[in-house]
Amino acid sequence: MEQMLKNLFLFLSKNKGMTRAAKKYGLRFGASRFVAGETLEMACKVITDLNRMGLAVTIDYLGEFIEDEQEARKMADQCIEAIRMIGRNNLDSQLSLKLTSMGLDVSERVVMDNMRRILEEAKVHQVFVTLDMEDFPRCQPTLDVFKTLRAEYNEVGTVIQAYLYRSEKDIAELDELHPNLRLVKGAYKESGEVAFAEKKAVDDNFKQIIKQHVLNGNYTAVATHDDKIIDYTKELVKHEGISGDSFEFQMLYGIRNEKQLELVNEGYKVRVYVPYGTDWYGYFMRRLAERPANIAFVVKGLFKK
List residues with catalytic annotation: 132, 182
SS3 96: strand
Domain layout of the chain by residue ranges: 36-279
The pLDDT assigned to 17 comes to: 55
* pLDDT less than 70: residues of the chain: 1-32, 64, 280-282, 284-305
Express each pLDDT in 263-293 by its tens digit. Answer: 999 999 999 999 998 776 667 666 666 655 5
CA dist 92 and 174 (Å) reads 27
CA distances from 154 to 74, 211, 217, 242 (A): 24, 23, 16, 22
Q: For 54, list phi and psi in degrees, rounded to 5.
A: 90, 10
The pLDDT assigned to 290 comes to: 65
**What number of helices (H) and strands (E) belong to the chain?**
12, 8
CA dist 262 and 270 (Å) reads 10
The pLDDT assigned to 299 comes to: 42
The pLDDT assigned to 189 comes to: 81
The pTM (predicted TM-score) of the whole model is 0.86
36-279 CATH fold: TIM Barrel (3.20.20)
Identify the burial level of 200 via C-beta atoms within 10 angstroms of its C-beta, where 0-12 means exposed, 13-18 middle and 19 or more buried.
exposed
